[in-house]
Amino acid sequence: MKTIKRKIVIITVLASAMLLLLYIFSANPDEKLSDKELREKALSLGLKPIPTTYKELLEVIDNPQNPLTPTKIALGKKLFFDKNLSYDRDISCATCHKLKEGGDDNIPTAIGHDGQKNPSHLNSPTVLNAALAKAQFWDGRAKDVEEQAGGPIQASFEMNLTPKEVERRLKNSPTYVKEFKVVFDENITFKNVQKAIGAYERTLLTYGKFDDFLNGDDNAIDEKAKRGLNLFINKGCKGCHVGMSVGGQSIQKFPLRPYKDWFNINFDPNVNIYDQEFPFENIGGFLGQNNHKRFRVPILRNITKTSPYFHNGAIKEIEEAVRIMGKHQIGVDFTKHQIDDIVAFFKTLEGEIVDYGIK
């Protein structure tokens, strides 16, 4: 038995040594790149700039099942801000998705009908750039923004209205009756309400300094942000936070890596060391997709404006969120200097909603 244990220790030490050597001789994650090299590296990984014209928007975001038109978008905008879509006529989509404040509500959990909190204590995701994501909600249960739009309206703890009541209320408005007829060539239906709101949300893309950098302006972001971008890429953050939206493209396990240190883990063969508790109090008890701690990867555009963080809004500061993600997703203990650089990069992801000239 002692011989077996000794062999295990030797093999473990050798394996650790090999990994260390591989790390030492691999590319330096803090290597200095020219602006051109950094830009090309980012673009090659799919970190693309937001479109700035309506034609480009359609190429990126149009939905074949719900083709965008200016009149449909205008109708959707009107519905997005209409409190008549809630039971007490006091809540609209814009109530929890404040477009000038990051596209969310900046509180740990959404407050809905009759002052109710989300029963799972879920934090409202941003609506900005959400149409670029491949799934909606924290567990990814909705395929697109059109499907997602119907959820909060019907939820008893959010807007608390049935599809039939939505249709009845809107049909009482001659203006809405006319507009739906023009846009959809049919009477008002809840499905078309979802399509209209979804069409509007597809235009809520934001453009900022990072996009200027990707489009060739070397001076759009400072050296600190460039270091942060380089760290973001080389340390592995870009493995999940990909695409034009810098996230929202996949469902991932969280936490991925053990909460405890390796040397303090009880190596019980019946215990999955990756099935760890959250690195914060899981208020609300939500466990993601199929209760397997799988969550839609958050969109990082405007992330510095959408505090608090994680599915239940448990973490207030962006720096702590970066530390947690580094440690428990990619297995890196970021230094304070590195965290500050990454946050500087995140600030370049702040942006304003693009005016696509839609009347």
- The catalytic residues are 158
* Structural contact between residues 348 and 210, judged by C-beta atoms closer than 8 angstroms: yes
Question: Which residue pairs, CB below 8 angstroms and at least 24 apart, start in 31-37?
Answer: 31/230, 31/234, 33/230, 35/213, 35/218, 35/226, 36/218
CA distances 274 to 138, 148, 258, 288, 323, Å, are: 20, 31, 5, 16, 18
From CA 12, how far away is CA 298, in angstroms rounded?
36
**Strands 294-296 and 351-353: what pairing?**
unpaired
Report the 3 state secondary structure along 10-43.
HHHHHHHHHHHHHHHHCCCCCCCCCHHHHHHHHH
How many Cβ atoms are within 10 Å of 243's Cβ, its own excluded?
A: 20
Amino acid at 213: F
Ramachandran angles phi, psi of 136, nearest 5°: -120, 165
- Strand, coil or helix: 189: coil
CA distances 47 to 28, 128, 352, Å, are: 21, 17, 18
| Ramachandran assignment for 341, one of left (phi > 0), alpha (psi -120 to 50 degrees), beta (any other) | alpha
227-239: b (≥16 Cβ within 10 Å) or e: bbbbbbbbbbbbe
